[in-house]
């Protein structure tokens, strides 16, 4: 049975007072990881194995960029909105999450109809959409996972659908997914979707989540 949640309230409160300290502490081990990868690369002669060191290098770069983005803003809402192509934004999110999908052998199916120009906070929207995609990937099994991304006009609104064929979410858990610090993942922080909801609301985007335990989940964003 498919369950739908439409009336969602986020309770995330983001403070940036600690960010400079956190950025400093995170970048120190990242530097060590980069140095270790360079040394490891010098010993690797198998091109197939070097694929994995490239994955590490790209994702360390991604973390560094996120830290720089945080340091370059004083408040969560301070970033200026810019005009964006929805298709370009989705393709950028696909590129960012490519390594995660590739490592799990997840098939990505894109169905983009007419494009739309929007005025959004670009970096924040990349974070929000990436969080949704990563959650979808984590919910799917290796080799059998299929991630579907759909973008089209529907009844006067533009609608994005991010659908997976993963484990799904129970009716009881579905009502809690946007609550800060709620998580069903081992080792999860429970902040990703709470931050995602705050960003989507900030950009005037409505969210509906449909899920069936054992049959997957679909995030429907409309604006």
The tens digit of pLDDT for each residue in 145-199 reads: 999 999 999 988 999 999 999 999 998 889 889 988 888 777 677 788 988 999 9
Q: Are 4 and 208 in contact (CB under 8 A)?
A: yes
Q: Are 86 and 158 in contact (CB under 8 A)?
A: yes
pLDDT tens, 132-160?
Answer: 999 999 999 988 999 999 999 998 899 99
Rounded to two decimals, what is the model's pTM?
A: 0.76
Q: Tokens 């973008």 identify what position?
A: 151
Helix axes 86-96, 122-139, angle to 10 degrees: 50
Residue 171 is given by DSSP the state H
Q: Are 199 and 184 in contact (CB under 8 A)?
A: no
Strand positions, DSSP E, 48-174: 82-85, 107-112, 117-120, 146-154, 157-164
Q: Is 200 helix (H, G, I), strand (E, B) or coil?
A: helix
């Amino acid at each position: 049975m498919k369950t739908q949640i439409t009336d969602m309230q986020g309770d995330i409160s983001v403070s940036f007072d600690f960010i400079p300290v956190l950025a400093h502490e995170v970048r120190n081990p990242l530097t060590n990881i980069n140095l270790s990868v360079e040394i490891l690369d010098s010993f690797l002669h198998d091109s197939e194995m070097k694929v994995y060191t490239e994955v590490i290098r790209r994702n360390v770069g991604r973390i560094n960029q996120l830290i720089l983005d945080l340091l370059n803003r004083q408040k969560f809402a301070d970033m200026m909105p810019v005009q964006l192509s929805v298709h370009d934004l989705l393709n950028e999110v696909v590129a960012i999450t490519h390594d995660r999908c590739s490592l799990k052998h997840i098939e990505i199916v894109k169905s983009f109809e007419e494009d739309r120009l929007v005025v959004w906070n670009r970096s924040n929207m990349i974070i929000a959409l990436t969080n949704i995609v990563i959650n979808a990937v984590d919910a799917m099994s290796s080799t059998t996972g299929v991630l579907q991304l759909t973008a089209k006009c529907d009844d006067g609104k533009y609608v994005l659908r991010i659908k997976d064929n993963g484990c799904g979410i129970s009716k009881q858990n579905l009502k809690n997914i946007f609550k800060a610090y709620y998580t069903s993942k081992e080792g999860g922080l429970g902040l990703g979707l709470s931050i995602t909801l705050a960003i989507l609301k900030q950009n005037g985007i409505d969210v509906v989540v449909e899920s069936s335990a054992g049959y997957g989940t679909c995030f429907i964003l409309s604006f």
